[in-house]
Amino acid sequence: MAPLTTRAKEQQDRIHLSASTAVSAETAVIKLSGVLDAESLDACRCTLDRVLRLRPLRLVLDVAGVEVDHSTLAALGLIRRYLQRSGVHLVLAGLPHRLAEAIRQAQVQDLYDIQSAPAVSVAAELRHPWRVWSAAPAPWGVR
Low-confidence ranges of the chain (pLDDT < 50): 1-15, 128-143
Task: Name the nearest CA neighbour of 96 among 113, 80, 72.
Answer: 72
**DSSP state letter for 128:** -
d(CA 39, CA 16): 9
Length of the chain counted residue by residue: 143
What's the confidence (pLDDT) of residue 59?
92
What is the per-residue pLDDT for 140?
44
**How much is the pLDDT for 122?**
58
* 75 lies in some domain: yes
Q: Which domain holds residue 80?
A: 26-134
Looking at residue 76, what is its pLDDT?
A: 93
Number of domains in the chain: 1
CB–CB of 72/98 below 8 Å? no
Instruction: Tally the C-alpha atoms within 13 A of residue 97's C-alpha that lie toward its C-beta.
Output: 0
CATH code (residue 80) = 3.30.750.24
Residue 38 lies in a domain: yes
| pLDDT of 18 | 84
Could you give the CA distance from residue 61 to residue 3 in angstroms, rounded to a whole number?
36
Q: Give the per-residue pLDDT at 133.
A: 42
Residue 87 within any structural domain of the chain: yes
Annotate 57-109 with DSSP letters as a single string. SEEEEEEEEEEP-TTHHHHHHHHHHHHHHTT-EEEEES--HHHHHHHHHTT-G
